[in-house]
Amino acid sequence: MRKYIVAGNWKMNTTVPEGVELAKAVAAKAGEVPANVELVVAPPFTHLVSVAEALKGSKVALSAQNCADHEKGAYTGEIAANMLVSAGCSYTILGHSERRQYYGETDEKLVEKVKLALANGLKVILCVGENLDEREAGKHFDVVAGQTKAVLYNFTAEDMKNIVIAYEPVWAIGTGKTASAEQAEEIHACIRKVLADKFGAQVAEDTTILYGGSCKPSNAKELFAQPDIDGGLIGGAALKADDFIAIALSF
Ligand code: 13P
């Protein structure tokens, strides 16, 4: 059965006390959200232990925004998958376009990261999405299908039970420009077809595919009404508990 998820990617925002306050505010309202919608928050690494504590007893799951492509050792500044688990995470986001764009994250590195995340019991939210030039050149289907295959075709149907995909068109992130429900739906359907080709129709049907990019309370309902959109990966609007919860109430 496909799961619905609304996940908040806080990116590099909030201090630890601010993050704890935000987490508490989300946890306090999480009970309003239907049981079939999972809530996830992804604060910066420095916040994870404190936010885990703030979320205790709530239905909100904790995610990291990235993890290392090595298991442990001399990798200064990196955070390993098992550290995330020990801090209370059950998810990690991987392959966000900001990491691909600014930090040289390649599909090859992502394969290693996904392997380590899964091996340590983390669920993965893998991000894919085309940039503006690629969309204007009409390459968006090829780019997204290519990114999806380059990473996920290294995994098994069993692994797919712990992998969520987030389609985030780069031109819609933080720009206030949302993909229309039709634009998002056709890419989601394309991703599901890419999954079906490799893993079969059932795995494709069961995989959660989120939309991300200027998703907010005013447009979430129309996006989530699409047959292949199973929730959202929310940036800016996840920094306000009321907006985040309102999005989760949009199914
Ligand atoms: P915005 O919702 O701020 O556009 O960010 C989307 C995003 O990148 C979530 O990962």
Distance CA 249, CA 183 (A): 22
pTM for this entry: 0.98
Q: What's the confidence (pLDDT) of residue 177?
A: 85
Nearest CA to ligand 1 atom 1: 235
pLDDT in tens, the chain (251 residues): 899 999 999 999 999 999 999 999 999 999 999 999 999 999 999 999 999 999 999 999 999 999 999 999 999 999 999 999 999 999 999 999 999 999 999 999 999 999 999 999 999 999 999 999 999 999 999 999 999 999 999 999 999 999 999 999 999 999 988 899 999 999 999 999 999 999 999 999 999 999 999 999 999 999 999 999 999 999 999 999 999 999 999 99
Task: Give yes or no for residue 191 CB within 6 A of ligand 1.
Answer: no
Distance CA 34, CA 44 (A): 27
Domains by residue range for the chain, with CATH: 4-248 (3.20.20.70)
Closest atom of ligand 1 to CA, residue 212: 6
Q: In angstroms, how far is CA 248 from the centroid of its own chain?
A: 14
Q: What's the confidence (pLDDT) of residue 1?
A: 82
Task: Give yes or no for residue 232 CB within 6 A of ligand 1.
Answer: no
Instruction: For 127-191, give the DSSP string.
Output: EE---HHHHHTT-HHHHHHHHHHHHHTTS-HHHHTTEEEEE--GGGTTSS-PPPHHHHHHHHHHH
Task: Give yes or no for residue 212 CB within 6 A of ligand 1.
Answer: yes
